[in-house]
Structure 1
Amino acid sequence: MSLFTVTVLAVTMLGPYQAVANAATTASTTAETTGTASAALWRPPLQSRWQYQLEGNPKYASTGGINVDICTVPQTGGACVKPTVFDIDLYVDGDVAGDNTTVNTAAVKAIHARGAKAICYIDAGSIEDYRPDYKQFADWHKANGNSLLGKPFSAEFPNERWANINNDKGQRDFLLKMMAARVDKCARAGFDGVEFDVVNAHEEGKPVTGWTVSAATQLTYNKALAAMAHAKGLSVALKNDLSQAAELVSSFDYAVNEECFQYDECSELNVFVKAGKPVFQVEYETAPGSFCAKANKLNFNSIKKSADYSLKDQPYKPCR
């Protein structure tokens, strides 16, 4: 019986969450036994310069709205430098493509043509109403006692709502099924890794999210996401969730962090550096002169982006 057949039977008998977890475990075991799947995973070097561009620029329509040739003088000075890692959205920006359904294979191909790697951005902990699969989330929410979509993510991002990752009504099973479909698209598009955003609901609490999520529940969800990515041949980033970094470093291949210098919480990420896993870090409001020296000393791959939290190609200032 093939792995595919086993997985299909598992979905029928055990439910999608357990099936995904079992399939991921099988893939992990196979990798450890044969060495093939594990060797195929892209694991970036500790020092890897990155760019964070989630908003497309029509000027670069031929490369999916991504400025793949960006070259900027780092904070340390000298000649301009180019990223070796691009963290971009799964989809081409609507302002570039004219729709919200075009997977950004053009950018991935262009990034690879330049010898760089591409991380696929997916929101796994909040649900954005402009995504092509949004109706499936909204329909499930309505059919299951309004138990999936919580409060708006923030005043700055009112078009997304916190997801309920508990499983009392099968919410987590459903979310993992939907995330698996998204990750499949990342893999088919040729991405090298995946960033699951908003995986720290337990830190925010019910007043912010609308749901009571325990630390244990967050760990269960995050580990399932990591196993899912690995099973599909993609490396995976831990996004924020600093309070669980030490518990999750063995499950994730690198970290993506926002504003740890602004909030004086970067020490939590040292576990990744000590494990030889890169930290891709971004500051928005803090000036490069205030954090870059510290970032370089910590061996973080830090960059400065716009203070208004937009993630266009510019501004872009790597620390090194």
Structure 2
Amino acid sequence: MLSGTLDLSYDVNAYDIDIFDTPNTTIAELQQRGIKVICYFSAGTYEDWRTDKDRYASDIIGTSLDEWEGESWVDIRSSALREIISDRMKLAQAKGCDGVDPDNVDGAFNDNGFDLTADDQLDFNIFLASTAHDLDLTVGLKNDLDQIKDLVSHFDFAVNEQCVQYDECDVVVPFIDQDKPVFGIEYSGDKTS
């Protein structure tokens, strides 16, 4: 379940939940059952509904994402963005999350409104991993399939969306080869599942 009411009844090892929308009590309840809690947030995009949206200066907000209203790519080279992301990870730590799932970490390979390079993306993603580890959080790599071989040693797990649909499940094998978990998400046409 990726939206709607969070169903806590699943007998699983981990939940990947929204850092902003999930109360601390829910995180604590899951952990009391021995479930690891991974806290999701977007690292590579601006979302106009988030509580920290006013911290994003207009000069770091780029091209809108076609399929996601109110969401735009950001300039991952910005020190101001890195402060926002660091604070999001500190929020995850304060809420008791075991790890973080920073989303949209492939902006350099999309129409982002900036002249981002593969090296910019690699640097940003390593910043994400280092920041999480400095806060004793595990961190997952999502979306940046083109740089997995360069990033697998920095990240603790991978989250892949639609690998069956796009026939790309083999791309995350470097994580499996290093005995690191890979979480797969396959979306249906129903936005509540």
Give the TM bin, normalised by the shorter chain.
over 0.9
Displacement of 1:282 in angstroms is 1.2
1:131 pairs with one of 50, 71, 81: 50
Matched-pair contact (CA < 8 Å) for 1:246–1:268: no
Please list the CA deviations of residues 134-170 of structure 1 after superposition, one character each: whole Å capped at 9, or x if unmatched: 0110xx22xxxxx31111112x31211110113xxxx
Paired amino acid for 2:37: A
SS at 1:67 equivalent: coil
In structure 1, the gaps of 5 or more residues are 1-52, 58-65, 71-81, 93-102, 142-146, 285-305, 316-320
Paired amino acid for 1:307: G
Aligned to 2:102: 196
Aligned to 2:71: 160
SS at 1:86 equivalent: strand
Q: TM-score, normalised by structure 1?
A: 0.58
Find out whether 1:55 has 2:3 as its counterpart. Answer: yes
Paired amino acid for 1:69: S
**Structure with greater helix percent:** 1
Aligned to 2:159: 256
Displacement of 1:183 in angstroms is 0.7
1:15-164 to 2 correspondence within 5 Å? Answer: 53-57=1-5, 66-70=6-10, 82-92=11-21, 104-137=23-56, 140-141=57-58, 147-154=59-66, 156-164=67-75
SS at 2:139 equivalent: strand
Check 1:257–1:116 CA distance in 2 against 1; reply closer, same or farther (3 A cut). Answer: same
Paired amino acid for 2:62: G
Q: Distance in 1 between matches of 2:180 and 2:34?
A: 20
Aligned to 1:187: 93
Displacement of 1:258 in angstroms is 0.3
Paired amino acid for 2:12: P
Matched-pair contact (CA < 8 Å) for 2:76–2:82: no
Q: Distance in 2 between matches of 1:200 and 1:149?
A: 15
Paired amino acid for 1:67: D
- Runs of 4+ aligned residues of structure 1 deviating over 6 Å after TM superposition are none
Matched-pair contact (CA < 8 Å) for 1:89–1:104: no
Q: Distance in 2 between matches of 1:307 and 1:236?
A: 28
Please list the CA deviations of residues 202-243 of structure 1 after superposition, one character each: whole Å capped at 9, or x if unmatched: 222xxx222221110100000001000000010000012111
Displacement of 1:280 in angstroms is 0.3
Matched-pair contact (CA < 8 Å) for 2:98–2:137: yes
Displacement of 1:181 in angstroms is 0.8
SS at 2:114 equivalent: coil
1:238-277 to 2 correspondence within 5 Å? Answer: 238-277=141-180
Please list the CA deviations of residues 99-134 of structure 1 after superposition, one character each: whole Å capped at 9, or x if unmatched: xxxx62021011112111100101000000001110
Q: TM-score, normalised by structure 2?
A: 0.95
In structure 2, the gaps of 5 or more residues are none
Displacement of 1:54 in angstroms is 4.2
Displacement of 1:180 in angstroms is 0.8
Q: Distance in 2 between matches of 1:136 and 1:246?
A: 33
Displacement of 1:307 in angstroms is 2.3
Paired amino acid for 1:209: N
Matched-pair contact (CA < 8 Å) for 1:192–1:235: yes
Displacement of 1:186 in angstroms is 0.6
SS at 1:161 equivalent: strand
Find out whether 1:278 has 2:147 as its counterpart. Answer: no
Paired amino acid for 2:3: E
Paired amino acid for 1:157: W
SS at 2:37 equivalent: strand
Q: Distance in 2 between matches of 1:261 and 1:202?
A: 24
Q: Distance in 1 between matches of 2:20 and 2:126?
A: 25
Q: Percent identity of the aligned residues?
A: 37
Matched-pair contact (CA < 8 Å) for 1:242–1:269: yes
